[in-house]
Amino acid sequence: MQINPREKTKHVSRCLELAILLEASANKPGNVNRTTNFESTRYEHFLASAVAISSSFEYAAERGVLVSQGKIHVSDVGLGRIIRDCVANVNAWQRGGNTSLGTAILLSPIAVAAGMTPAKEDVFEIPKLRENVKLVVESTTPEDAVNVYEAIKSANPGGLGTVPELDINDPNSRRKILEEKISLSQIFKIASKYDRVCSEWVNNYPITFDVAYPSLMEHIRKTDDLNKAIVHTFLKVLAGYPDTLIARKTSLEKAQEVSSKAKEVLKFEGLETSRGRKLLREFDQELRKSSNLLNPGTTADIIAAALALIILNGYRP
């Protein structure tokens, strides 16, 4: 039975909020979790962020419902404003800095797409959801781009640096975006060369849907242990795809080195063996050195998006 639109939007918001909470709570190496904090960013900051961001996801799903009803065009969703409001809400509710920018950018199109996608008994069909994510992303506007620039400036993420084209810190970039009608999707295509979140956007979330989502499902079926499933999926993604946050903060070579070490932990089966657990502890300790420059934050964002998919598809912890 189809759920009514009002309940649907609230349901989508709860699913995505839970995904963020579960991702933050897992003992992923090099990240804030239930037992380990950074100097200025703590576990409770992520909890507050998950709650603060949920209203924006509910609104995003409402916009998606309106698209499905033919009341607005998908280009009128206002995705950039949704992402900007996500960051503003997070900043208003916690003082731990940038906890959720990448997650907001990945999850906002999923929230809109879920509003557009039929759901039977609170379960969304993942292939159809993915089709709608693609449509949402490809329909973004120059106004969306300007709003996301504001969101990024407000979040002030680490390792931002400068780029030769449409730099976020160049005041002329916003004028050029509007005058030349450059969509958010076009800008993310440029950024996809050095940012994995942007790459996910413009390539229809290949790591999220094709790697992380099936890995989570497989590990949950095998072990019925969500923490293990998250940690092992995190390691799998990190091993296969060097974390671009690490690359921006340090170098691509260092990010590749971190990926090689994640692969080594997986070689010894991670949390499933005593040798794997020892290697995982050592890996975690190494990532936490040097003021957390080796924090695989982009990988964590992708895991949050994959968790959103399994929860939208009916998983309950």
pLDDT in tens, 27-63: 999 999 998 998 889 999 999 999 999 999 999 999 9
Q: Give me the pLDDT at residue 157, please.
A: 80
Helix (H) or strand (E) holding 106: helix 101-116
pLDDT for residue 308: 98
CB atoms within 10 A of CB 214: 14
Portion of the chain with pLDDT greater than 90, in percent:
88
Phi (first) and psi of residue 77, to 5 degrees = -60, -35
Instruction: Show the domains of the chain with their CATH numbers.
Output: 5-312 (1.10.4200.10)
**Which long-range contacts link 219-228 to residues 24+ away (Cβ below 8 Å)?**
220/310, 220/315, 226/22, 226/26, 226/317, 227/25, 227/26, 227/27, 228/270, 228/271, 228/272
pTM: 0.96
pLDDT reported for residue 41: 94
The pLDDT value recorded for residue 209 is 98
Query: From the CB of residue 267, how many other CB atoms can be counted at a distance below 10 Å?
Result: 12
What DSSP designation does 198 have? H
**According to the model, what pLDDT value does residue 188 have?**
96
Tally of residues, the chain: 317
pLDDT confidence band for 273 (50 / 70 / 90): very high
Q: Check whether 158 has a pLDDT greater than 90.
A: no
Mean pLDDT of the chain: 95
pLDDT of residue 251: 95
Instruction: Sort 7 into a burial class: Cβ within 10 Å, 0-12 / 13-18 / 19+.
Output: exposed
Query: Residue 5: what pLDDT?
Result: 83
Residue 234, token pair as written in the block: 């995190």
Over 90: is that where the pLDDT of 4 sits?
no
Per-residue pLDDT, averaged over 9-18, amounts to 98
For 242-256, write each residue's pLDDT tens digit.
999 999 999 999 999
What is the rounded average pLDDT of the residues 3-30? Answer: 95
Tens-place pLDDT, residues 89-134: 999 999 999 999 999 999 999 999 999 999 988 899 999 999 999 9
* Rounded Cα gap, residues 137 and 5, in angstroms: 22
Confidence band of 292 (pLDDT split at 50, 70, 90): confident
Note the pLDDT of residue 168. Answer: 86
pLDDT, residue 3, reads 75
pLDDT for residue 159 = 63
Residue 160 has a pLDDT of 65
Of the candidates 144, 151, 92, 124, the residue with the CA atom closest to the CA atom of residue 11: 124
What number is the average pLDDT over the span 281-303?
93
Contact 151, 234 (CB under 8 A): no
Question: Is residue 302 a contact partner of residue 203, using CB atoms and an 8 Å limit?
Answer: no
For residue 93, which of 62, 51, 138, 125 has the smallest C-alpha distance? 51
Tell me if 84 sits within 8 A of 147, measured CB to CB. yes
Confidence of residue 224 (pLDDT cuts 50, 70, 90): very high
With H, G, I as helix, E, B as strand and everything else as coil, classify residue 154. helix
Q: What is the pLDDT of residues 72-90, one digit of tens each?
A: 999 999 999 999 999 999 9
